[in-house]
Amino acid sequence: MEIPYTTEIRPDTGVYNAKLGIWLFLASEVMLFGALFSAYILLRVGAPPDMWPHGWLDVRFGTLNTILLALSAITTLLAWAACKVREFGKFRFFHGCTILLALTFLGIKSYEYHDKWIHYEIHLKDGTIADGHLVEQNDTEVVIHGRIVTDETKLYDLRAQKDIQLTELTIPRADIKAMENYAPRHNTFTAIYFTLTGLHALHILGGTCVIFYLWAFGGAMWRKDPERFTNRVEVSGLFWHFVDLVWIFLFPVLYLT
């Protein structure tokens, strides 16, 4: 049995079925990310004064990822346009670019996660706090590349502090009261940061898998029914543009404000 309305327009909706389906799915995605953004707003507004982080994330990486996603959105659109003019070779080239850009994005995101994972806040028994990236640790001491502060609020607004001097600090374990890395459990900022960007990264990964499938195994359908294949490319492209749209808000909210 043939699936109806894969290429032809359904009279009552005015679009082919998959297109309406993806838009309904994207509508539910808007509410999913909307709920998380709502949680972000409440956490941020509810944070005590001077206790919300500024400058914890590297704007250079965020900007680079913004450019990568914008480029990938464009190569996705061009892949669809290439299908429309029946140039399968160009489709494969543009979608190959999309896959590479997406993997680069995920690579940079992984590096950022790793950077947070090895970043430690160490409370010492004398009341000071050592903060920095772990260099090495053993049973007797912990070595970090960072600094010591006396006031915890100094750890939050990094943008306001111009000259932060970082040195290699060797801390005996006997002097440590508590130590914790910048994992999701560290505070509400890292919790919502990892949740929002983690969910977004999962969407990138899922979209990349779909695009890879079309890129690698789409030839058979292309030869059999190019219009149906083109519509599949369009639907996957709409999802990809939505993922780009989410990042357009994630980047300023997390990296710039």
Partner 1 sequence: MSESEHHEHHVDLNSYIRRCVLVFIAVLCATGLMIFASYLPHFGWPAKVAMIIAVAICNAFVVAGFLMHLLTEKKMIYTVLGFTVFFFAGLMGLTLWAMSDFPLGTAVH
Residues binding partner 1 (CB under 8 A): 7-9, 13-16, 19-20, 23-24, 27, 30-31, 34-35, 37-38, 41-42, 45-49, 59, 63, 66-67, 70-71, 73-74, 77-78, 81-82, 84-85, 87, 90, 227, 230-231, 238, 241-242, 244-245, 248-249, 251-253, 256-257
Query: Considering beta carbons, is residue 52 or 120 the nearer one to partner 1?
Result: 52
Query: Considering beta carbons, is residue 47 or 103 the nearer one to partner 1?
Result: 47
Q: Is 125:175 a contact under the CB 8 Å cutoff?
A: yes
Q: How far is the CB of 126 from partner 1 (least distance, A)?
A: 30
Q: How far is the CB of 212 from partner 1 (least distance, A)?
A: 20
Query: Considering beta carbons, is residue 145 or 241 the nearer one to partner 1?
Result: 241
Q: How far is the CB of 209 from partner 1 (least distance, A)?
A: 21
Tokens of 40: 């972000």
Q: How far is the CB of 199 from partner 1 (least distance, A)?
A: 17
Query: Considering beta carbons, is residue 57 or 122 the nearer one to partner 1?
Result: 57
Q: Rounded to an integer, what distance in angstroms lies between the CA atom of residue 158 and that of residue 176?
A: 24
Cα 72 → chain centroid:
14
Query: Considering beta carbons, is residue 48 or 127 the nearer one to partner 1?
Result: 48
| DSSP-derived secondary structure for 167-236 | EEEEEEGGGEEEEEESSTTS-HHHHHHHHHHHHHHHHHHHHHHHHHHHHHH-HHHHHH-HHHHHHHHHHH
Beta bridge partners of 55: none
The dihedral of CA 106, 67, 100, 234: what is its sign? positive
